[in-house]
Structure 1
Amino acid sequence: MMIRRFLDLVEIKTKVASMIPFLMGTVYAIFHFHTFNGYHWLLMLVSLLSFDMATTAINNYYDFKKAVRTHGYGYETHNAVVRYGMKERSVVLLIAVLLFLAIGAGIMLVFETGLLIFLLGGLSFCVGILYSFGPIPISRMPLGELFSGLFMGFVIIFISTYIHVPGDQLVSLTIDSNLFVHLDIQLVEVLLVFGVSIPAILAIANIMLANNICDVEDDMENRRYTLPVYIGKPNALLLYRYIYYAAYLDIFVLFYLRVHPVLLLLLLCTLIPVHRNIKRFESLQTKKDTFILAVRNFVLINVARILVLTLAAIWS
């Protein structure tokens, strides 16, 4: 029962949003740079998963603390803190343990890989905390989709590629004896990583957008001024649709990377179930019935890329 409470508090099912980009960067490093470092991979796995669970637990805890309307819309079942009657002290202790694991593994990874990971990891850490914490958390602003997409999509993929690759092949950041900072960026390679990240960036943003569309009425009552609150539900649904179509722009990048056209056609086949899920969500927007479709689309779009890159690596 304790394990069930923990898994519900950290919303373990949503961890695919960080694990899939993590695997995407790993496979991309193997495919494009022909390299893999198991120790670095394990350290990042522990740090990333622990931090993702911690931020979700923080978000649920502060939703519980700041809720204005606490009855009449499933409040007792939506939040694990309320549903299981969890003690605030226990939740805070659990969050502290998760953050300790995330920071500890992250510091070990920095010693292994260099200063750039410290800066990117530190920035991601700050954004993750500010996402749920502070006087105006990012999750209560119309910026949640942008921040979650860029940091959980591009930054995770970039770091999970970088930890396997010698620094001079992507970005090299060093400080000499005179404390001068030297930054060397292989711009084309960084842009290629960004291009490969497009499906993860956009599909993660759409998970957040779908969540906010489902909660738009409740968010207005609880003073969460998310993007759908600002632009209205009809415009949010239109944006939701076209974000998915834009996620297929990465096919041009993969073609440039010489992924075989037959494999790229397999990616286009995923448009059929993705379009079907879009139509279903447009007809009904609820957490119980259709929010899961955004998660399914994310998995479908991005797991297909991982499989195609894996097959391309074997093919080549």
Structure 2
Amino acid sequence: MRLFFSAIVVWGMWKVLPYEKVLSPSGISHIIDVSIFGGEDAMVWFRPLIIAAALLYVLEWLNPLGLIVLTLAHLGYNTLDGSQDYTNHRYNIYGLILLAMCAGEVWWLGRRWFAKGSAIANAVRHSYQLYFAQCAIAAVYVTSAITKLSKSDGQWLLRSHYLAKSVVKTHRQTFYDNPEGLVVPAIPAVAQWLGEHPHITRIAFGFGFFLELFAFLALWNRAWALFIGLSIIFFHLGVELIMKLDFRENQYVAFIFMVNLPFWAWWVTQGRKSQTLNTGRSGLL
């Protein structure tokens, strides 16, 4: 899991940011000059840095140095990208997971004095890393559901059929971004259908809403994590199909930390004999 996660985090910071300064400060850019992460020159030192940090994290050398450096690099890079007069939250879920795992590492460093160096202690440490990552993912979705309720005075489900208008907007985003020489597209057939069938629309979007609201069930055990993880992946596939909104990063982390394919491959071949699925928190990894 460390290998896959570090790979997508590094890839998310690989492109050159064509910015030389912060136009609209946000987050840590209020106190730190994040412009150092922009431009071709920055990549000369930045790419080797994140590769080295990823290797330290994956191989678990000098823990938790690799994870901390990767987290700081992610925060600086994406803060600069999000401080250019527009909001870019594409990689926010990566940052939240990195911060949660850093918190887990710091917590573990304080606890390790009570169980020094044993294999069991290391296994539990890895399990808590996974648990903290799952907490971060679940928090993103539960927060989204609560925000929907808060912003709509609790009426989100009843008003969800109006999302047909949002479907039209997202389909026309290309025109809004560059209207010159383009023809305003017709109302998409899916938006037309959703608008004409409000009750079915409420039911369909309601499934997504309750998936977000109860995403914390992924923390119960591995089976629930698998179910919630797969549901999140297919939920975003449906959103992309209907609304042309891409949430690939969310799908990646759901697959890595919730579906956790390596564990299930191991469990099918060996783990069933020891009933690992029914163990406590130490069996979360």
Higher normalized contact order (CA 8 Å, seq sep 6+, divided by chain length): 1
Tell me the TM-score normalised to structure 1 length: 0.30
Tell me the TM-score normalised to structure 2 length: 0.32
